[in-house]
Amino acid sequence: MQLPPTLTERKHVSTLPSPHRIVIGARAHAELAELLHAARRDLEIRGSSTSQVSADDLSWADTYVGFMRPALPTMGNVRWVHCTGAGVDAWLYPNELSRDILLTRTSESFGPYIAEWALSRALAIRQQLLDLAECQRRHEWAPRDVGYIRGSNAVVVGTGDVGAHVARLFSALGATVHGVSRSGSGDPAVFASTSKTSALPTLAATADWLIVTVPLTTETRGLIGRDVLSACRGAVLINAGRGAVVDEAMLPEALKKGWLSGAALDVFAVEPLPADSPLWDDRRAMVSPHISGLTTVEGAVNGFLECVEEIERGQKPARTVDRDRGY
């Protein structure tokens, strides 16, 4: 027997947004709009790149789909924002999206993509691929010893979906993987051990790979700071979380002093990475332009439609962002 909804539940259902007019702000807006229109012809859709979204668009729309906030003073009549990326920090920091606006995030798993990105960097470093490519360019035969992932020790900061996928790949190649999270929990089938973030300096001293996969929240901002970096003993920092989780200004010193032997960085405090950043010219740093886990068109549309269907059933979307936790 199904019980009738409580007063609180009825009140919540009545406040859910009713999506009809959708603005998409993304580079792939045309592809997103085409796929969404094919699935739901009842929805009115406008699309443009994020920088081209206008105040008129936001006044017309009740729903916005995109990774970044448009550079406008308000969100107009928008009552629901669906973030298409893995992290929602662009909607929370430095100015939080009004809590009167529902904020949801994609259901797409970026773990497999980011895990491949992290492992490719680790293999490139161990196998000295960049240096060998330079030797080839010079027609130089350069025998040397190379290293392996097998037998190394990885500390993965973040034991959620992304961190677990990273751990699986590194474990498959013979690394021992330890997880670190706010709660100190993680899948024991994936991580050799898990610890709370307070243990990071101690664990960093044992790491060959310090891999960051956590989202940016008030708790994780600056998490990888001097205390953690100075505890490292030649680890390679791999950051696919968010730039501000790491004290980026400390990285040149950490590399110079040998706390870090290298860094593979996909995210930065300011993006694009400023041209005068010393990281560009440091041969120990591998820079990539925030491409480790790109949203797919199908994943973005499917995640949005899942939320639409839940709302139309009178349910709060399962992917609603917890504003206090930041994800």
Q: Measured between alpha carbons, how far is residue 8 from residues 5, 11, 13, 28, 194 in Å? A: 8, 5, 9, 39, 38
Question: Helix or strand or coil: residue 73?
Answer: coil
Closest C-alpha to 235, from 257, 267, 213, 266: 257
Exactly one of 96, 271, 298, 309 is catalytic; name it. Answer: 271
Partners of 179 in the beta sheet?
A: 156, 194
Single-letter code of the amino acid located at 293: G
Confirm whether 108 is a catalytic residue: no
Closest C-alpha to 188, from 175, 199, 177, 174: 177
Single-letter code of the amino acid located at 86: A
Q: Measured between alpha carbons, how far is residue 48 from residues 28, 145, 183 in Å? A: 8, 51, 40
Confirm whether 137 is a catalytic residue: no
Measured in degrees and rounded to the nearest 5, phi and psi for residue 106 equal: -65, 155
List, in order, residues 6 or more apart from 83 with CB less than 8 Å away.
Answer: 66, 67, 90, 91, 103, 104, 105, 106, 321
Exactly one of 105, 242, 248, 284 is catalytic; name it. Answer: 242
**Sign of the Cα pseudo-torsion (254, 256, 262, 266, in order):** positive
- C-beta separation of 248 from 216 below 8 A: no
Dist CA 274 CA 149 (whole Å): 32
DSSP code, position 18? -
Dist CA 133 CA 122 (whole Å): 16
Confirm whether 290 is a catalytic residue: yes
- C-beta separation of 21 from 44 below 8 A: yes
Exactly one of 290, 306, 319, 323 is catalytic; name it. Answer: 290
Centre a 10 Å sphere on the Cβ of residue 281 and count the other Cβ atoms it contains.
Answer: 8
Catalytic positions are 242, 271, 290
